[in-house]
Amino acid sequence: MKHFLTLADLTAAEMHHILNLAVRIKQEWQAGNAPTYLKDKVLGMIFQKPSLRTRVSFDVAMLQLGGNGLYLSPNEIQLGKRESVADVARVLSRYVNVLMARVFAHEDIVELAKYAGVPVINGLSDYVHPCQGMADFLTILEHKGTFQGKKLTYVGDGNNVATSLLFGATLLGMDFTIAAPQGYGLHPAVWDMGRRLAAASGARIVVTYDPLEAFVDADVIYTDTWTSMGQEAETELRRKVFPPYQVNEDKLRYAKEDVIVMHCLPAHRGEEITDAVADGPHSVLFDQAENRLHAQKAILVWCMEAD
């Protein structure tokens, strides 16, 4: 059984396979073909957090692949409260063919996978956002053609999205730079994993507090909200700390002329990114959003295909 919990669990070959599968499925869809890879299969979708892209993209993915998605709201499940995570996993495994969960604590997704009798996909946890990561690297592949010799710069809070970008880039051999304020970087354990992956792929990792240094010669600039769900009490403090890390037209001048700008959305326009950049010629924000659909189709098929 194959679970999809974090990009760091994959081999480079597996990640390339999923990306190639996503490219093929997207091309088939664009050509008007509708291969029913998951005919009559059912995806159970557990949500502890609200969602636009995750819910709709997984629901539509299953529909277009010939299956069905079943939405389970926070009130219906209440993981670990109304019923233990282990029991939820055991029960739902008797009803559905694959599970996707969007949770607060990463431990919950790990426990779901431990007790489930079907593949489990991490739709988001406080540790990583691997589905977003796959959509991001699919988007980079489409716009840049390769990962080798390319520089991905992440600017802002060292959150779950940044973690998945580090893992994915170092798996694929893409250079990764992060600029975050002091005290808001990635966890040391995340760096340990990233360095191990980079040692195997030859990727280069750079950490800086200077956003302008990070922008220099970047092929990809990526940012995310300064305050993630569950951190609302820190909002005002973060609004004072993060403005130097805003992605705007002035900073883009330090990057390569053909740089692409990415954001996983939802965006707080005027904070981490300006309207001029989000809607400008370098923006691929909505390509990313679309690619959640195609990347997740590939993840679903990969989880249920035979080794």
- Tens-digit pLDDT profile for residues 103-139: 999 999 999 999 999 999 999 999 999 999 999 999 9
> Shortest CA distance to 204 belongs to which of 259, 139, 156, 149?
149
% pLDDT > 90, the chain: 90
pLDDT above 90: residue 38: yes
Annotation marks residue 131 as catalytic: no
What's the pLDDT at 76? Answer: 82
Where are the domains positioned within the chain?
7-129+291-304, 132-288
The CATH number given to 7-129+291-304 is 3.40.50.1370
Q: Number of helices (H) and strands (E) in the chain: give both, helices first.
A: 13, 9
Contact, 18 vs 134, CB < 8 A? Answer: yes
68-82, 138-152, 171-185: segment of lowest average pLDDT: 68-82
pLDDT at position 80 over 80: no
Q: 88-112: per-residue pLDDT in tens?
A: 999 999 999 999 999 999 999 999 9
Query: Catalytic one among 3, 102, 282, 294?
Result: 102
Q: Are 37 and 66 in contact (CB under 8 A)?
A: yes
**pLDDT tops 80 at residue 81:** no
Determine the pLDDT at residue 268: 96
Q: What angle do CA 164, 176, 225 make, to 5 degrees?
A: 55
307 has a pLDDT exceeding 70 = no
| Closest alpha carbon to 140 in 208, 65, 218 | 218
Element (H, E) at 193: helix 188-201
> Residue 75 — pLDDT band, cuts 50, 70, 90?
confident
Band of pLDDT at residue 220, cut at 50, 70 and 90: very high
pLDDT of residue 153: 98
Residue of 129, 238, 263, 282 with catalytic role = 129
Question: Could you tell me the two tokens for 35?
Answer: 């291969």
User: Tokens 């802002």 identify what position?
Assistant: 156
Catalytic residue among 3, 53, 126, 132, which?
A: 132
Kindly report, residue by residue over 5-22, the tens digit of the pLDDT: 999 999 999 999 999 999
What homologous superfamily does CATH list for 132-288? Aspartate/ornithine carbamoyltransferase (3.40.50.1370)
Chain segment 188-213, per-residue pLDDT in tens: 999 999 999 999 999 999 999 999 99
Q: What is the mean pLDDT of the chain?
A: 96
Q: Does residue 132 carry a catalytic annotation?
A: yes
Q: Rounded CA gap, 110 and 231, in Å?
A: 22
Outline where DSSP puts E strands in 41-155: 42-47, 68-72, 98-102, 120-124, 151-155
Confidence at residue 301, expressed as pLDDT on a 0 to 100 scale: 98
Structure confidence at residue 259 (pLDDT): 98
- Of 48, 224, 294, 303, the catalytic one is 224
According to the model, what pLDDT value does residue 50 have?
Answer: 81
- Quick one: pLDDT at residue 228? 84
210 among known catalytic residues: no
Catalytic residue among 3, 53, 238, 292: 292
Q: Do domains 7-129+291-304 and 132-288 have the same CATH topology?
A: yes
Question: Residue 8's pLDDT is what?
Answer: 98
* 102 belongs to the catalytic site: yes
What's the confidence (pLDDT) of residue 68? 97
**Has 264 been annotated as catalytic?**
yes
Kindly indicate the confidence band of residue 298, based on its pLDDT and cuts at 50, 70 and 90. very high
pLDDT of amino acid 23: 98
What is the predicted pLDDT for the residue at 145? Answer: 98
Instruction: Give residue 249's pLDDT.
Output: 98
Q: What is the pLDDT of residue 296?
A: 98
Q: Among residues of the chain, what percentage have pLDDT more than 70?
A: 99
Average pLDDT over residues 273-277: 98
* Of 28-37, 75-84, 270-279, minimum mean pLDDT range: 75-84
DSSP state string for 235-253? HHHHHHHSGGG-B-HHHHT
